Structure 1
Amino acid sequence: MSIRAIDEAPLNAFHRKLTWACAGGPFLDGYLLSIIGVSLIGMSNELHLTTADESLIGAAALVGIFIGGLCFGAVTDRLGREAMYTIDLAVLVGGSVLSVFATETWQFVILRFILGVAIGADYPIATSLLAEWVPNKHRGRLLGVLILAWYIGAAAAYAVGFVLAEIGGSGTWRWMIASSAVLSALILLMRIGTPESPLWLVNKGRTEDAQKAIERALDRTVPTKELLAASATEQSLQQHGFRDLCRGRYLRRTLFCGLFYMCQITPMFALYTFGPTILGSFGLGDGNDSNLGSALISIVFVLGCLPALRLVDRIGRRPVIVWSFALMVLPLLVLGGGSSLPLAVVVLCFCAYALFSGGPTVLEWTYPNELFPTSIRATAGGVATSISRVGAAAGTYLLPISLSTLGIGVTMLIGAGITLLGWLVSVLWAEETRGRTLAETSALPATQPTASAGERRAKLREDEYEGS
């Protein structure tokens, strides 16, 4: 059972505002992770940081994202999307402000860890809220927009870092960090007043609150009978918990979401790191110009996502992810030729990979939100994020070791192998969810209630409502 007022609603100002507000979390992720790398130069000079200090500061946020995604998705399913939606942004604002005044390594490490936890928590919070508010036919595209925000945030950080460094040199590093506090505060203001997810409210039996939320956001009156029927269906389904992600069909879906995410992001982080070396050949790899080059890399990946945004709702999720992984393998195999390749071929392969990677990229948060029911939707999204960060951390840590010991050619072939694993996982486990309601995409055959059972529950609830 679904809520037709949401599933069939035309896109309006509320949907656009909600999409931008939800995209603020990934934007801040890209910005915060990138701005610290830009500011570390000035920070190290002024605070006399060692290499170990810099590594701790850089890794703290990644560890925090892992913890935040793993833990706070479940909290969101328990307490609601609306409350967590603003709390985690308030933490980002506070942590960013305190970072401006930090003077010791341990202070930066703790604050970066806290910021990482808030970012990791925001992924399942914001994506589940958006998924439960947008119409079926636009869900894939709008959820895909969120991942674009990450690259835009990273590009913005490098651009801001470039401008500030040009104006005041590396001594402007505190201003760079302060910029993240300002952006976090602006996005927090955008989020204030967002109504709770009607599906979450219905799942908790709060049909009157769901009715008010829909009227407020969409200016549409939902018949009480429809909400009671939706609530009855939700209540007739088993209310799942964290352990259900490790059982039966949901285990397969958990592994699929986590593994394809990890297989997509691990080689991508490697190429993201290798990118400045490529651009260095064009004079954009030294000094402050490297920040401009890194911004250009982010823009290339943004451009790669644009075709996929249209295709996921036009031809479907499964063909997009399967064909994208298959095509992503090809440029990595060519790059396996190593440093002897002509520069033009290297740049062409880099651009081809960025273009083809758009498919899995825009589905990183679509699949977890579509394949799991309301009671564990945010939990599943958090777990998928945490699994992916294992790959991201491993790729970031092992890349320089692999480059120095195995060479660039073998390193790229390893990336091709990881990508091929992502293709295999997608061929075996990717499901088609295009154009279907969240109730349909998340239901399992063994747990779907019979029509008569759902109708009996709905009738009982309706009778109780009319008799009260």
Structure 2
Amino acid sequence: MPALRHAPDAAALAPEQALKRLQTRLMLATQIGESIDGYILGGIGAALTALASDLHLSTLMQGLVGASPLIGIFVGGPLFGWLADRIGRRPVFLLDMLVFLIGSVLQFFVVDGLQLFVIRLLMGVAIGGEYAIGAPLLSEYAPSRKRGRLLASLEVSWYVGYMVATAVGALLAGVHGGWRWSLASSAVIAVVCLALRGGVPESARWLLSKGRCEEAEELIARYGVEVDVEAEIADREGRDSFRALFTREHLRSTVFASAFWACLVLPYFAIGTFWTPVFDALGMGNHATLALMVYSVTAVLGVAAGCLVVDRIGRRKLLIPPFWVTAACLAVVAAWPKSTPLIVAGFLFFIFLNAASSALTAVYPLEVFPTSIRTTGVGFAAAMSRVGAAVGTFLLPIGLSHFGVRFVLLVGAAVLALGALLSHLLAPETTDLDLAQASRRAHGATARGTAP
């Protein structure tokens, strides 16, 4: 009987082969995790009408259920980010996916709105953790020249997850209790992702930031990772990572990452979660489901376009002009809310360009912080972005009922214009820079006496 042949482990492979295998595994593990985030957040939009009827939810509770994951991100982003900077990337990478798995299953068994709110709140904590750890860990093993595209592709996965969840929810909408299966189906994705993450090693950059140089050098040699070792060691942060975010050295990065992210996602989440009421208010309720699917597909195309150009045109050009154009799109729809062609064109341009720029939410936040506080910074920025999104999601149905659809759309336009102004003032150009050099450019000063 012939002997069984086993695949060689990383230590037996040439560094180039080992790195390619690691990057592929890490990419899949991170992309699937990002798709679960979109799946969980997108699924509620298609399921909300049915579950609100089955669970007898008030308007207040509908707003809370819709906003609950976004509220959870406020806790999960900083908490998991702080843990990943303190105890390591790998254990947190595994832990937050386990929370996804448990939460997904529990959604099937809820009997009232409060239970669903609590479960989705905890899943939001895990989503915050995914934002804090997934992209940063991938970036710490990514080559500088391809980093933008690799990280931006995570947002493609997010939008694909959001689109698939919308499709699953729409298909099960007519089935009795179909919303339960729709929400719980994310458990299948979580199992696959958890299995992939078991073989991912610790970040060499994180080990350097903790002074564990021998372990880091072993990983660098094994995988042939591109790392500016001297810069990583020089940029070690002696202070608690959370407090360091608000020091003079890093405050600019903290404000920028939080503000641009919040301004990008607030209109998207608010309008996407309550798409049907918005379209009803615009007199197009009969086409709301079809429009939601078109909305989701357009978002996937937009973020894919952003992924393709992020390393070619640079970060600032992908961020600032689309902010202005999307603000104008919502303002146009608000000005002519009875014009079907303008409504269709306005929303299509809005979602395409908003999604294209959203590719940067997986790129910019982790490039503007050094390794020693990277996941804490990304987690905090994610939290601040979701605070804005949660407030917008909670207030949108109230705004519709009290002030009308024009007011809601004009507020969205104002938020996007504010994002454009802040980005013009604060956004650094970090394209093609090593992570350590990118973070130094972001705070516009020398780091530890070393030239940026």
Q: Same fold (TM over 0.5)?
A: yes
> Contact between 2:89 and 2:137, CA under 8 Å: does it hold in 1?
yes
State whether structure 2 residue 186 is matched by structure 1 residue 180: yes
- 1:355 and 1:268 map into 2 onto residues whose CA distance is 11
> Contact between 2:315 and 2:429, CA under 8 Å: does it hold in 1?
yes
Q: Structure 1 414/56 Cα, relative in aligned 2: closer, same or farther at 3 Å?
A: closer
| Secondary structure in structure 1 of the residue aligned to 2:176 | helix
Q: Structure 1 117/321 Cα, relative in aligned 2: closer, same or farther at 3 Å?
A: same
CA shift, 1:306, in A, is: 2.3
| Secondary structure in structure 2 of the residue aligned to 1:363 | helix
Partner residue of 2:8? none
CA shift, 1:52, in A, is: 4.8
Question: Per-residue displacement from partner, 1:104-137 (whole Å, max 9, x unpaired)?
Answer: 5443333222211111111111111011111111
> Contact between 1:22 and 1:126, CA under 8 Å: does it hold in 2?
yes
Q: Structure 1 278/321 Cα, relative in aligned 2: closer, same or farther at 3 Å?
A: same
Q: Which residue identity does 1:193 align to in structure 2? A: G
Question: Per-residue displacement from partner, 1:59-86 (whole Å, max 9, x unpaired)?
Answer: 3322211110122211110011111001
Q: Structure 2: which 5+ residue stretches go unaligned? A: 1-15
CA shift, 1:195, in A, is: 1.2
CA shift, 1:295, in A, is: 3.3
Q: Which residue identity does 2:247 align to in structure 1? A: R
- 1:435 and 1:110 map into 2 onto residues whose CA distance is 42
State whether structure 2 residue 187 is matched by structure 1 residue 190: no
Aligned match for 1:321, one of 307, 319, 322: 319
> Contact between 2:295 and 2:351, CA under 8 Å: does it hold in 1?
no
Q: Structure 1 89/221 Cα, relative in aligned 2: closer, same or farther at 3 Å?
A: closer
State how 1:302-313 maps to structure 2 within 5 Å.
302-313=300-311
CA shift, 1:161, in A, is: 2.2
> Contact between 1:258 and 1:388, CA under 8 Å: does it hold in 2?
yes
State how 1:376-391 maps to structure 2 within 5 Å.
376-391=373-388
CA shift, 1:10, in A, is: 12
Q: Structure 1 400/104 Cα, relative in aligned 2: closer, same or farther at 3 Å?
A: closer
| Secondary structure in structure 2 of the residue aligned to 1:262 | helix
Larger deviation, residues 302-311 vs 180-189? 302-311
State whether structure 2 residue 412 is matched by structure 1 residue 411: no
> Contact between 2:136 and 2:374, CA under 8 Å: does it hold in 1?
yes
Q: Structure 1 232/125 Cα, relative in aligned 2: closer, same or farther at 3 Å?
A: closer
Partner residue of 1:164? 172
Partner residue of 2:251? 251
| Number of equivalences | 430
- Give the TM-score normalised by the residue count of structure 2: 0.86
State how 1:30-41 maps to structure 2 within 5 Å.
30-41=38-49
CA shift, 1:213, in A, is: 3.0
Partner residue of 2:23? 15
Higher Cα Rg: structure 1 or 2? 1
State whether structure 2 residue 93 is matched by structure 1 residue 85: yes
Larger deviation, residues 11-20 vs 65-74? 11-20
- 2:359 and 2:60 map into 1 onto residues whose CA distance is 35
Q: Which residue identity does 1:423 align to in structure 2? A: A
Question: Per-residue displacement from partner, 1:181-201 (whole Å, max 9, x unpaired)?
Answer: 111111111222111111001
CA shift, 1:270, in A, is: 3.9
Aligned match for 2:122, one of 91, 95, 114: 114
Aligned match for 2:424, one of 424, 427, 441: 427
| Identical counterparts, % of pairs | 39
State whether structure 2 residue 81 is matched by structure 1 residue 73: yes
> Contact between 1:154 and 1:295, CA under 8 Å: does it hold in 2?
no
CA shift, 1:448, in A, is: 3.2
Aligned match for 2:352, one of 339, 355, 372: 355
Aligned match for 1:204, one of 189, 206, 210: 210
RMSD after superposition? 2.8
- 2:102 and 2:113 map into 1 onto residues whose CA distance is 18
Partner residue of 2:335? 337
Partner residue of 2:390? 393
Larger deviation, residues 410-419 vs 103-112? 103-112
